[in-house]
Amino acid sequence: MAVLKKIRSRWLSQAPPPGDYPILADNVVSLAADPRYDIRPLSISQLDECWRLDQRCFVDGEAYSRDTFEYLLTAPEGRRHLAKRLMLRVEEGFRRRNIRMVRLEVRSLNVSAQELYLCLGYTVTQRLPKYYSNGGDGLLMVKSLA
């Protein structure tokens, strides 16, 4: 945790000055001055920039390490629906053991994971206020395997 705080404070000290962004009324910063976006795969040369953004966005030890970022970017098995395949395999194992109901918890802000679980037939049954150590809410999702 202390390492993350040092890295985060070092990165913030190198951040561009506030004057580099257009300021709107009430000190709201506009980062969308040009609404056109260019979407393309992340390259290894952009790794550090992406990692620094992740450090800034995810606090309390939830950000990925730089090594994890590099692994995810360069791993040959990346971006091939691995999470879906793993979930299906786990459910297959549950069925062989006669388990008929699966429940899982997911962060309320983790929309991509929720979409995966919904696609696999899970249903949100309950909101879990302050479920995570940083105070973030969770969602309880269940699926019948019968």
Under a CB-based contact definition with an 8 Å cutoff, are residues 134 and 60 in contact? yes
Provide the pLDDT for residue 46: 86
Give the fold, CATH level 3, of 82-144: Aminopeptidase (3.40.630)
Residue spans per domain, the chain: 1-15+42-80, 82-144
Please tell me the pTM assigned to this model: 0.51
| Helices and strands (H, E) in the chain, number of each type | 5, 3
DSSP sequence for 33-81: SS------PPPGGGHHHHHHHHHHH--TT-SPPHHHHHHHHH-TTTTSS
DSSP 17: P
> Mean pLDDT per segment of 10 residues, for the chain of length 146 residues?
43 47 43 53 82 82 82 73 85 91 94 94 97 92 94
